[in-house]
Structure 1
Amino acid sequence: MIKNIKTKQIEEKTCANCGGSKTVDSYFTSRSFMHSDGKCHVCKECVNELVGTDMDKILMFLSSIDTPFLQNAWDTKSGDLGKYLSQMQMRQNKSKTFRDSDKQVSFNPIVSREHEEVEEFIVSKEDKMTWRGVEDENIEYMKFKYNELIQSGYKDNTPIKKMLLQNIVKTQFQLDGSKNTDEQNKLYTMLGKMMNDANVKPSQETSLDEVPYGVWIKKVEDEEPIAEVDEEFKDVDGIANYIYKWFTGHLKKMIGLGKE
């Protein structure tokens, strides 16, 4: 009796840094809503090369995958990023986000060193207009997360897209601060619907998104037509002359147009 054995297909994705196609287990797990497949866009090897042992970069990376920094856990893993992130997948840490990091960790994308002066963030009138309804103390974090979206490939080149991205950031902020399971589920649903309705996921963005395909073709024909071929290259193999001599020429004589 022959058994039908199914082979498991290994899923792969392309690293946004090195361009290599690698299996999904070659990427760190991400809790960020910007990574819809639950994996970082950059492979583990590249991440380790990019952040090294620089704590500023490590914190920025943890923020981008929405994973907390817990000093005690970090120390027990001797500063090994891979081992630390494996520990963050354990049940007691799995539901935590970057906002659950130790209190001394700043949400500023650049964590200041002791010998550096911390530049105070000033909320402008434009910021207040852009982030209406958001408390001043949270606007800096909102702007940081918004810029992360843009740097990740999202587009805000129309007022509608800009508004949708702002709403996505606001909803994610509410989700991060919610401790109620029912409310979290509701916010997750809202967040997914906004991203799907907006049709602005990086994986969906193409050069044709802004206009219908037919309009794009017409634009190319009108503004970038194919240049006229030089005389010496018009009929290098004599095909055009052959067609005229044996087909077009005879047809013209038949309908009374003569040879020309």
Structure 2
Amino acid sequence: MICSKCNKEKNDNKFFKTRSSFTNKERIDTCNECIDTQIKNGGMDELLKFLRFVDTPFLNKIWFSDKVNENIGTYMKNIALNNKNDTYVNSDIEVKQISKLEVESNEEVPEDLVERFGPGYPLEEYKAFQKKYDFIKNGGYQENTTMHTEALIKYCIFQIKTEIALAQNDLATAKEYAKFAKEAASAAKINPNQFKKEDLSNGIEAFGELSRVIEGAKDVIAVLPKFRERPQDKVDVTLWCYINYVRDLQGLEPVKYSEIYKFYDEIKKEYENAIITDEVKSGDL
């Protein structure tokens, strides 16, 4: 394999395995040596970011034990031998404590965000995750099953991580996160090429259903065309019938409703002109 960081070709065993369910690859594209250097330079934040990336738990006692001595290679071997079934969600409680110390803001991470997106992220990232989540939800996305919900959450995390890496000009990391984001999007069924006709129409299959949806959209009603020369309600119909009844008593021909509406417009114009004339006389204009 060729490392995406140092561009050197190395044996497969020089690349860490990943447990993430959002990729079909057994190993990541960055070699162990580059990962070790990145963690030593970045400290605990880089360690947690890497462990989230490969879906491996952070276990405080193992990381700070004498046998591991803060070496990522030894740590990964220890986890593979003793905690092979654990994932990042099985990280111990001290991850939360560490993440809070690293948050630059004095605010604490709300518990509902930790519960939704998992422990170990800085506050600003939690806010970005939630903003992305709300944006997709408010756009009409329907979480039909808990699997869709989980996939959507994963997508939000990986997509924000991709954007952060791009902002830091870390193209190799951005590429890795983008792969996971794409796979999570497929699992959540939010890729445009996965949409079916009923997804785009919100399940509308009949004209009656379309009418109900339009009537419920307040921002649409204001711009819909109205048939001004037709009766709009029962009151209009009653007035129309009464007018033609009186005309019939007088021996006159019945009128169309369009003629009645034309009369309304003429009276309205006369009324408005009268108001303007009165205001001019009184000096209000």
Instruction: Give the TM-score normalised by the residue count of structure 2.
Output: 0.44
TM-score where L is the length of structure 1: 0.47
Which has the greater radius of gyration?
2
Structure number having the greater helix percentage? 2
